[in-house]
Amino acid sequence: MVKGKFSAKKTNNQTTVTVKRRKRRRETYSIYIYKVLKQVHPDTGISSKAMSIMNSFVNDIFERCAAESSRLIKYTGKHTITSREIQTSVRLLLPGELAKHAVSEGTKAVTKYNSSKK
């Protein structure tokens, strides 16, 4: 079944149906990357090519982190990825000081989320 708008056109005893397809939505991190950029450098912009590269970078890190977390739960025999596995995978994937900052920001975000839920 095709989703979209239909329009029928009749010419010489033949009916032609044209279908206007809806454009598929692409989910990206662009708005979030832009918000962070404006927090850090309010007067700086970003090109669409650079935004595409940043989006690919975020997707890549996300996939690596998910894969590493998955491997960790297989080693321990668990079935659920928790914040502890995510934290460990971040420590394994990111180098030194970057890992420390990522873990502290992640912990802060989880704490903020849990306090807002109550």
| Domains of the chain, each with CATH number or no CATH | 48-118 (1.10.20.10)
**85: Cα within 13 Å, side-chain hemisphere:** 19
- The owner of tokens 């900052």 is 101
Mean pLDDT of the chain: 90
pTM reported for the whole predicted model: 0.73
Q: Could you read off the pLDDT of 26-65 as tens digits, one per residue?
A: 889 999 999 999 999 999 999 999 999 999 999 999 999 9
Average pLDDT for residues 98-116, to the nearest whole number?
94
58 Cβ neighbours under 8 A, 6+ residues apart: 29, 33
**Cα distance between residue 90 and residue 110, in whole Å:** 15
